[in-house]
Amino acid sequence: MTRTLVLGGTRSGKSRYAEDLMPADVPVRYLATARRRADDAEWTARLEAHRVRRPAGWVTVEEPDVSAIVTAGGGPLLVDDLATWLTNVLDDAGAWEGGADIGPSTTALVDAVASAPGEVVLVSAEVGLGVVPATRSGRLFRDELGALNAALAAVCDEVLLLVAGLPVRLK
């Protein structure tokens, strides 16, 4: 069993790299964290591009409770991506303007990954290399995702950073 965290910036190749890490000879569960939005054709096209790139034998799971899916096991699992998952957690908690505690959700995810019964590959954005966001919500997202990535890196067996399509092994 391995737990791998693949980090990278926008268009760094992190999703494709993570997909290539998955075994070719067994069914893979692909946990898509993005929510579909009927009013956004561009977003729908992005989701579709990811879907058609995946092998036909993969099973796409669209379930917001990532921790439960990780804990349940059931063969190799690719979670793409945690930045989108975190955005949904922040949305659902009403945390953008302050006051909401998302700690239980992020802790549950880290605990699930730490005790995952099978192979798990996680994809997440690296947002700590840029400027300090000008808005409170931007800073909240950057800080929460940075903390989540660090906590996951601590419990993963492998951690990679994709830069310009090239993997850099961090752990």
pLDDT at 154: 98
CA separation for the pair 76, 69 (Å, rounded): 11
Burial code of 28-48, b = ≥16 C-beta within 10 A, e = fewer?
bbbbbbbeeeeeeeeeeeebe
Q: Could you say which of 50, 65, 114, 118 is catalytic?
A: 50
pLDDT at 73: 87
Distances (CA, A) of 6 to 57, 102, 110, 134: 22, 22, 15, 27
Question: What is the domain range of residue 76?
Answer: 3-169
CA separation for the pair 162, 133 (Å, rounded): 22
Low-confidence stretches of the chain (pLDDT beneath 50): none
29: domain CATH number is 3.40.50.300
Query: pTM of the entire structure?
Result: 0.92
> What is the CB-side half-sphere exposure of residue 118 using CA atoms within 13 A?
17
Closest to 123 (Cα-Cα) out of 80, 94, 163, 89: 80
C-alpha 15, offset from chain centre: 9
pLDDT at 62: 86
Total domains present in the chain: 1
Tell whether the torsion through CA atoms of 64, 18, 6 and 68 is positive or negative.
positive
pLDDT at 11: 86
Q: Which two tokens stand for residue 2?
A: 């391995």
pLDDT at 48: 76
pLDDT at 130: 83
C-alpha 32, offset from chain centre: 9
Closest to 124 (Cα-Cα) out of 87, 144, 149: 149
**128 is annotated as an active-site residue:** no
CA separation for the pair 156, 120 (Å, rounded): 9
